[in-house]
Structure 1
Amino acid sequence: VRLCRTAVDVLAQYGPSTPEVLDTQIDGLGIDASFTNDVEVVNAPFGLYPQPIIHLSSEIQTSVLEWFNFLGKFVAQALVDERLLDLPFALPFVRALTGESLLPDTTTALKHVSAIDPDIGRSLTFLYTHQDDASIDDMGLAFVLIGNADVELKENGADIPVTCANVKEYVTLTLEMLLNTSIAKQVSAFRKGFNTIVPESVLSYFTASEWVDLISDSSTELWPRGAEELKAFMVCDHGYTNESRAIQWLIEILVDFSPEEQRLFVRFVTGSHRLPLGGLSKLDPTLTVVKKLSPDELSNDDDMLPSASTCTNYLKLPDYTSKELMRTKLLYCIHEGQLSFHLS
């Protein structure tokens, strides 16, 4: 994901003068505090990991490093404000941010590469474990980075073929490039940005897995305690009580939702598909469900759709005549109503 330029400019201009900078200064200027405006979405199924930039011009490198510096500030400020971010960093990248070496030994390094890109991990593992395989000489490999022929692993690497005699060196240099050389500047820029708001020594206080939970919450269920949690932290008002039939059905439906459907529901009601650290108990304002009334005598509840006020985490739910109809209407709204805005 590429963060929008406006977000960088605002934070650079106003700075983290208060712990609530994301809430007050940026929201006050009408800019989405989650910085998801004007984004380019990339496919990173195994997490976000820096691309090599060492082969690029110094001007481009400087620009990229500015982004990583800002990203460090952004993550640090989110931690201060107890916000969860939609930034699924690859675990090896987080390990590097904490100061952990990704190259303690070849076996561990290969596992890290597999976590970033399983295909590359399998290829390197095969080469490392089959160094005497004569077919290596015929693979047409050269001493350049897999997937990026512009990055040479050694001087004139593009002209040096990989053979059984030098394949071990090839694997070693590839691991060094992927896990150290190609990301060192980005990691340093991130840490420097982080340090402007939170001391970078804090990065070593937690394990990489713990940082992933702190930054983006890797849990699959949004209400792991099920109905008990929903009943405890959901307010029913304006026509509904905790004992209302519609509320009982709603809770059963939400518990039965898949993790992805739960996130879509939360996004429909709150505007964010993640709950704050601490889950429903920390949602502010509290999740509130009220009865949605028919606009006129000719309409009935079964004809209406649920609606939401994301500013107040308010769900307006018609009193449907069946649980299955309620589920159908909710699923329609959370899938089709994510990008719409209406007065209700």
Structure 2
Amino acid sequence: MNFRQEVKRAHQSLNYQSLQNFYARIFSSHSELCSLISDDSLSTDCGIKLELLHAINDALRGMPSIIHKTVLKSIINSLLEDRPSLRSEDEAKALFALLQSPVFAVQRSYTIFAHVLRRAATLPPPERVLLPHYFRLLGGDRLRSVIRHIAQFVAIRQFPPSGKVLPPPSKSRWWIPAAARVLALINAANESCSPSLIHFSELYNMALDHVDLLKEYFLWQSTPNKFSYCQFPFMLSIAAKRYILTKDSEQQMILNARRSLAAKVSRRHPPQIDIFFLNIRVRRSHLVSDSLNEIASKQGELKKKLKVSFLGEPGLDMGGLTKEWFLLLVRQIFEPDYGMFVYHRHSRSYWFSTEEALELNEEEQFAMGNAGDEDLTQAPGLREYHLIGVLMGLAVYNSTILDLHFPAVCYRKLLSPPIPPPPGDESVLLGVVQQPTIEDLAEIMPDVAKGLSELLSYEGNVQEDMCMFFEVSLEEYGSVRTWPLRPNGDKVHVTNENREEFVALYLDWVLNASIYRQFRAFYLGFHSVCASNALILLRPEEVELLVCGSPTVDLAELRKVTEYDGFRPDDSIISNLWDVLESLNQDLQRKFLLFVTGSDRVPVGGTGEMTLKVTRSSGSIEDLPEAHTCFNQLVLPAYQSKSQLSKKLTIAISNAEGFGLE
């Protein structure tokens, strides 16, 4: 029958008998279902008639409940049937079709859905690997629908509603592990696509933010063979992972503080409150050198809570001085005069300088040399890289956002491997991207990456037309330097036959070999603070979010948490304020955020985690300070019109340098 015409006729006549018979027949047997949707001539679609399968499922959404019940009864029969006649791939095809069924969107179907999930999760390996291949055929919207059904299934089983709709947890402990394993197959399918079908955050299950995350983490650490959500980190939100990392760090901080206290007591020294903190004392005039010396002398205290003080200046660090220290130190180290990082204007990102590569001999230029841990505090060229790594680690553990502009590949390197080897073990290369791609290079040097792509696809004679050698030339600080990519590379022509080798060596040189010593120091600095198994849970993109925050400003969420002193939320001046802010472009909104918080990015938990206080201030318009002022003095009652407020506010935040609000 013509399926769509039959659906239309049934809706018009309200007679669904033929469709009920059709659904009962195809879902009562996996072999019947496979016979309907399979077509071995469709090699590009893995032999599945996707259009027909989608039509069957889409039509089912608008069917009466009697047909949904019929489908569920038929699926039960199909799960109970013997399948000796099924081909190996047919079982995977049938389960792929069932997992998309809209009948599993409701709670009353979960007992059956659980068995479908278990059957899919326990397929023999040769058949199970077909499922990610099939999932890749789905578009983003259909894949989201499958994920949504499974995520809701997990949430309701984890936090069952009142009533007796679901079996008791003691009889359904396998439900969530089965669902998690199917989600793992979907995640594998999504990760294997370039670009991915959906953003990785769409696999987050926000309901899991409310489970006992530390219990899950310690269960994962102590009993790896027992189910824990940490075995499936793609299900855990970045907020959940940050909570685990923070709590783990807090326990390490407490442990270090206790050790310091015990050492004080054993030496009969009077204990002081300072032993519970990492106290950094620096001079503004010697910011980098003082910070290097402080961190080098307090390596064993890096996991304590950070407190910063500027020598010769009064004041207690309630968070503001720490933010200022981070801000000023990062700004100074990234200055071109320091020669550590090169700014690439096309990608608007920084990358490590290859200055250290000049000091390598010819043999070292083709193999990544190691610098032992002890060299990091001695070699002038590496100390600052180690310091930046420490700063990033301290920022994560102290919930501070840094104004860093590294490409995404930097965070991949930072998790390669996620847990460093034991001290003294130099057999493992640290911070090395395996098989770097042109896409990785494009994050730093898009113009160079485009040139390499054109080289690979060039149809003419590469040697005669391009006259290239096995060399790499990079411009840094206004001068161009050239290095051979292999011994005597300046005499080896790039040809059509060896151009793939040339591109591979070029990528490895830029992203790994030429900066290995610098990045190793940077890597060890970060992990000297963030040495935690919780890092295994994180994706590189999530590490970047923890360090740098999100660039998206949600003013509606910020408005919900704003407090007022001397104003009411419905005052006209307050309404005008938010109207003006919402009318600004994203760049000015971020500058406003920088002006009132010291950072133009939003913490991992979103704007809802921030605090903003608008205070009525006395004074005249003439007394209004310029950009270096507290925001509360901008919101004077005299500014009753939007135009006045908009003009003054826009000028102020356009020139703001990041002075915070109390």
Equivalent positions of 1:162-311 (< 5 A) are: 162-199=494-531, 201-217=533-549, 219-223=550-554, 226-227=555-556, 229-238=557-566, 240-283=567-610, 286-295=611-620, 310=630
The one of 367, 383, 388 aligned to 1:66: 383
Offset of residue 51 of structure 1: 3.1
1:125 aligns with 2:427: no
Which secondary structure state, in structure 1, belongs to the residue aligned with residue 563 of structure 2? strand
Whether the 8 Å contact between 2:303 and 2:529 is mirrored in structure 1 is no
For structure 2, list consecutive stretches of 5 or more residues without a partner in the other structure.
1-286, 314-320, 337-341, 361-370, 418-431, 475-479
Q: The residue matched to 2:358 in structure 1 has which SS?
A: coil
Residues of 2 paired with 1:161 and 1:213: CA distance?
A: 43
Q: Distance in 1 between matches of 2:311 and 2:601?
A: 22
TM-superposed deviation, 1:69: 1.7
1:57 aligns with 2:359: yes
Q: Distance in 2 between matches of 1:190 and 1:6?
A: 18
Q: Which amino acid aligns with 1:112?
A: D
Could you tell me which amino acid in structure 2 is paired with residue 292 of structure 1? S
Compute the displacement of 1:279 (Å).
Answer: 4.0
Question: CA–CA distance in 2 between the matches of 1:200 and 1:53?
Answer: 32
Match of 2:471 in 1: 144
- Structure 1 residue 76: Cα displacement: 0.9
Q: Which residue of structure 1 lines up, in the alignment, with residue 647 of structure 2?
A: 328
Q: CA RMSD in A?
A: 3.3
My pick for the range that moved more, 319-328 or 172-181, is 172-181
- 1:34 paired with 2:326, answer yes
Partner of 2:397: 80
Can you list the C-alpha shifts for 1:94-153, whole angstroms capped at 9, x where unaligned? 11111176444xxx61111122211111111111222x5225424242221132543210
Q: Could you tell me how far apart the structure 2 residues matched to 1:56 and 1:203 are?
A: 34
| Structure whose residues are more often helix by fraction | 2
Take 1:233 and 1:26, find their aligned partners in 2: how far apart are those partners?
30
Q: Which whole-Å CA distance do the structure 1 matches of 2:434 and 2:302 have between them?
A: 39
**8 Å Cα contact 2:401/2:546 also seen in 1:** yes
Asked whether the equivalents of residues 92 and 115 of structure 1 are also in contact (C-alpha less than 8 Å), the reply is yes
Task: State the TM-score, normalized to the length of structure 2.
Answer: 0.44
- CA distance in 2: counterparts of 1:261 and 1:16, whole angstroms: 41
SS of residue matched to 2:343: coil
Is the alpha carbon distance of 1:314 and 1:7 closer, same or farther for their aligned partners in structure 2, counting shifts above 3 Å? farther
Q: 1:242 to 1:90 in 2, by over 3 A?
A: same
The aligned amino acid for 2:408 is L
Between stretches 8-17 and 80-89, larger displacement belongs to: 8-17
Q: Which amino acid aligns with 1:80?
A: Y
Look up the equivalent residue of 1:12 and give its one-letter code: A
- 1:336 alignment partner AA: N
Instruction: Give 1:307 deviation, angstroms.
Output: 7.0
Q: Deviations over 1:172-200 (max 9, x none)?
A: 22122123322333332222222322216
Q: Residues 303 and 75 of structure 1: is their aligned pair in 2 closer, same or farther, counting only changes over 3 Å? A: closer
Extract unaligned runs of 5+ from structure 1: 296-300
Aligned equivalents of 1:50 and 1:266: distance in 2?
Answer: 29
Q: CA 1:16–1:336 in structure 2 vs 1: closer, same or farther (change >3 Å)?
A: farther
Q: Which has the higher contact order (CA 8 A, sep 6+)?
A: 1
Say if 2:470 and 2:484, in contact at 8 Å, map to a contact too: yes
Q: 1: CA distance between counterparts of 2:470 and 2:576?
A: 62
Residue type at the aligned position of 1:89: F
Which residues of 2 match residues 105-116 of structure 1 at below 5 A? 109-116=437-444
Partner of 1:17: 301
Instruction: Tell me, yes or no, if the aligned pair for 2:383 and 2:521 is still in contact at 8 Å.
Output: yes
Q: Which amino acid aligns with 2:328?
A: T
The percentage of aligned residue pairs carrying the same residue is 23
Corresponding residue SS for 2:301: coil
Letter paired with 1:34: F
- The alpha-carbon distance between structure 1 residues 194 and 11, as it changes in their structure 2 partners (threshold 3 A), is same
Out of 37-46 and 329-338, give the one that drifted further: 37-46
SS at structure 2 position matched to 1:124:
helix
Contact 2:617 2:632 (8 Å CA) reproduced: no
- Output the amino acid matched with 2:406: F
Q: Which amino acid aligns with 2:563?
A: V
Change (3 A) 1:160 1:167: same
Matched to 1:328, the amino acid is K
Aligned residues, how many?
Answer: 320
Q: 1:191 to 1:304 in 2, by over 3 A?
A: closer
Offset of residue 163 of structure 1: 3.3
**Amino acid aligned to 1:55:** A
CA contact (8 A) 1:306 1:318 kept: no
For the residues of structure 2 that align with 1:152 and 1:115, how far apart are their CA atoms?
23
